[in-house]
Amino acid sequence: MSPTGTVRTSVICPTYNRGRSITATIDSVRAQTVDDWELLVVSDGCDDDTEEWVRRAAREDARVRLHRIARTGHPSGPRNAGLAAARGEFIAYLDHDDVWRPRHLSVALGMLEAGADLVATGCTYLDATGAVVAPLDALAGCWHPQLQLMGPMFEPSRVAHRRGLPERVGGWRTGAGLEDWDLWLRLADAGHAFRTVLEPTAALLTDGGTRRHRMPRPHRLPLVVLDDVKAAHTLLLELREGRHDAPFRAACLADMKDWFRQMRATGELVRPQDWDGDLDAEIERVVGGVGRLFEELVLVPERGRFALAKNLLCARAEHARRAAELLPAVQPRQLRLLADLAGRARGARPAGRSDPAPVPRV
């Protein structure tokens, strides 16, 4: 306990019908190198034996607490309930199918106590067998308000923050998209910046059966709009088959380097504290290692025309609209190349600032 009588860190773990497997997650908290914490396992109306396994852990370690709420069907409900019950000066999150390495809280608290509001650590991604799928690259540890707007960053099991921050921006929200992306963006809009490290202090499940992979994708980011559906479909197939990957890879590389230079010039670009590598070289490595670039491209109706678009996992139409407005500034070469390829179709034009309407739901 701290001198004020409060717990230093409250760990919030939402769960639903995890069963005995929840013990591995609990044990990873109990194995932390710091011991001034409470673990709030918030049951979202579990109707299996999950709660009994949590009670067993609580009998062994009084720092573990079971908190039961009525079924909400969404992790935001348990997380908000955890925030309301938390006693800690700092808040950390741990999803029920993830685990922490022993130094996780020590690393996160070190950054928070140095003055950060929000922190994110590195991680490794595991499949259902426990095998490592992929490490985290250095670019994924960089942060800027524009990066936060354009793509999902920092799964909850990697994040900790000062008490009270989510409540000031409306708390965790429900919705079809990524609720963590939504909350981190609202915190960024309120002026809060992440501080990061690459040290892989968390191990995250990235199996195809996880919730993230089952989510609907209600919003789209249109890249180019065409009048003729046959021409749009032909271009879509060409892109998906990788016929134009080489010029797009070159355009992507140039766009990303320019974008990172612009973000760095604002003074707001955050680099991982434990990485001093060359950004341009890392961008080249990442872009060069990507497979086909357009496998997730989709064809959607766009006010009587047809757009080639990317699916977005964001929760709100307003978020999707803002991303569409920023796109021409961060991917100009790629959008010009798309417009050139679509030029053989009458009325083809790049999407972006000339399309101010919200991205359509389909």
Q: Which of 44, 5, 9 is nearest to 29 (CA)?
A: 9
Residue 236 or residue 352, greater confidence: 236
* For the chain, domain boundaries: 9-212, 217-350
Averaged confidence pLDDT in the chain: 91
Asked if pLDDT for residue 339 goes beyond 80, the answer is: yes
Pair of tokens at residue 350: 């790049």
Query: Residue 130 — pLDDT band, cuts 50, 70, 90?
Result: confident
Instruction: Give this prediction's pTM.
Output: 0.90
Helix (H) or strand (E) holding 201: strand 194-205
Asked if pLDDT for residue 2 goes beyond 50, the answer is: no
pLDDT in tens, 27-72: 999 999 999 999 999 999 999 999 999 999 999 999 999 999 999 9
Q: What is the 3-state secondary structure (H, E, C) of 313-362?
A: CCCCHHHHHHHHHHHHHHCHHHHHHHHHHHCCCCCCEECCCCCCCCCCCC
Asked if pLDDT for residue 348 goes beyond 50, the answer is: no
Q: Helix and strand tally (H, E) in the chain?
A: 13, 13
Fold topology of 9-212: Spore Coat Polysaccharide Biosynthesis Protein SpsA; Chain A (3.90.550)
Mean pLDDT of 167-181: 92
Quick one: how far is CA 192 from the chain centroid? 16
Partnered with residue 327 across adjacent β-strands are none
pLDDT in tens, 294-332: 988 999 988 889 999 998 888 899 999 999 999 999 999
